[in-house]
Structure 1
């Protein structure tokens, strides 16, 4: 899944909050409400805005596709903000400035505008972007959990990165799925859990002031702690919990958890957990009655949020699609009868 693919999903599935409008005040009001308070100036007086904003929300996370259609400058109206903004360019160019740092962005790059310093965004008319909004308090609390701090920890992300991890893109896509799939409407905890996963992935994979601490040398946990982690994950397999929750349960750091799994099993805890969920799903589908269950219900019961990824991983592991295994279980049941 590429940034362009995600941008198209947001446009197709999202609420169109702005539709090619040239009203500057209306654009500022809507973008302020859904992203961040700011001031907007059209750089060429003879040019008119042609702004469009498509919006999806999943808990306190929001996904937005934003295009101004004119050369504009965005700047702050308050010394500190309440959100982190991850910009994933789809097309065009922009110059971002945050504090004393500047970066020129285009497709293939990424930027996080943190909430602590003044910012200025000089955006060209052709610049098209997906913007992920994360709540500042949640990011700082998650950073505290990952670093073992008793208080919220300020996070200063590098303004720009040359690329964004496929893992993060996969979670962004999952956020689109969660916010638009009516089958998931009654599972509000998933939104919180997915936001935690997004935040942890950003903290661990995108350069920031905590990167050395998060990636530094840590103590290797005992085998008992690793077994305790495995037991916890198996007991909570249907839930889409974060690995930091597992680490907290075992009273170790997330890095220690990763090191222990590599030592004991030769796998990351995430890969081990995925394999257990796939095995559970296969066992359930192979024994199920197709008249009373579905692949979707089985995937959700095994902790999978993104159904497309579930199907692909299932086929890669077992050589058959989930629906094929479910149909075969029906034939087996008919023979048994």
Structure 2
């Protein structure tokens, strides 16, 4: 288990304005084409999804943050580049072969290609896997932590169950093989055809309930400033002090920023096996975030989800959120 691991902060690049078929909080509309993801060579030059090379939207308007001044400015000066905002970075591209999966159960197929267009077949194993794959709905109500299988030619595939039509985003988190290789997180848009009825972002709260387990979130998520997030797991009013290792750790945390779905994925600070799992976190900007904690107990992995607002104490929120079946593992 890694100790003292800090969350990789994000640059404050904001989301582009999505059409009615994809926009968070927009009206009902049909979905039949995936949104176009931005391409870029370096994370430091990350552009909002849908922005062109000069920082404008498809309709000619200026994308938020494209002029070098992000809309979320608080803490931006202290935040490195965002993760998952680009389909290409550092000479690697996430090539999705199934950008329009069917509603319900289907199979996702993709590859990571190098600068020459060749499928990558050599990776560095981290936390028990060569590659971690996350799929989330644009409204952040559906979350999938999947474990795809790689074929000899470099093609990855994984079953997935996407319960509703609409826009989704897939993230590939990996480290290529090589002594000086660095970790890369790439993101690409997906769409499930059909009538789209986006859900509002779940209310902020300090407790989440899943399969009879209650997880309490304490601490604050601060823009541009490191702070501790402590998650405490209990069941039936009793602390769970025998959490089981999952991918080499007692907990995994993924955070997605509302709007552009900027991504971060970390592992806990020293401790365990429960009931507390803590993370040192730095938010890239003010705003709303959705946190997904994976933990294993009784041989099964479960996910507790929270909405937090960077800069506001999580312990001060009284609302409790309940798992709605949107968070699974593959």
The structure carrying a bigger strand percent of its residues is 2
Larger Rg: 1
TM-score between the two structures when normalised by the length of structure 1: 0.25
Q: TM-score, normalised by structure 2?
A: 0.25
Higher relative contact order (CA 8 A, sep 6+): 2
